Amino acid sequence: MTDQIADLLIRIKNAAAVRKDFLSMPYTKMKEAILLILEKNGFVKNIKIIAETNSTSSGQTGKKCISFELVANQYPTHIKQISKPGHRIYTKGKDIKIPLRGLGLVIISTSEGVINGKEASKKGLGGEIICEIW
């Protein structure tokens, strides 16, 4: 099994490096949550979930894909996965550090869902630090 979050972040990083605007990949709920935060902060737009049905001899299999566009003027220059499958990183709500003196974005998985670092520190929620982007 591969790391789905690392796959998402690397695909965004590589697409930004070559100035590719449109991306499509297999769907997971975590990818959707991360992309919705990136959409709120202006890094991506037009998130669409596409259900594909393939007819096979054993019946129909429905796989979902998620597609989105990178915003042309807002390509991320730094994307780093903090918490990895072999080494999880957790933080308390009061200890959340926002990179670049507030200009960067930290995505945290909390008990209330996946939110950015500013919202988590306002609510006093800690959790697993997924990644940082700027």
- Would you give the end-to-end CA distance of the chain in angstroms? 28
Judged against a pLDDT cut of 80, whether residue 113 lies above it is answered with yes
The chain-wide mean pLDDT, for the chain, equals 92
One-letter amino acid for residue 45 of the chain? K
How many structural domains compose the chain?
1
CATH code of 18's domain: 3.30.1490.10
Average pLDDT over residues 90-118: 94
Domain residues for 94?
4-133
Task: Give the model's pLDDT for residue 62.
Answer: 77
Q: What is the DSSP string of 16-73?
A: HHTT--EEEEE--HHHHHHHHHHHHTTSEEEEEEEEEEEEETTEEEEEEEEEEEE-TT
Task: Give the model's pLDDT for residue 60.
Answer: 58
Residues 6+ apart with CB under 8 A from 73: none
Task: Give the model's pLDDT for residue 30.
Answer: 96
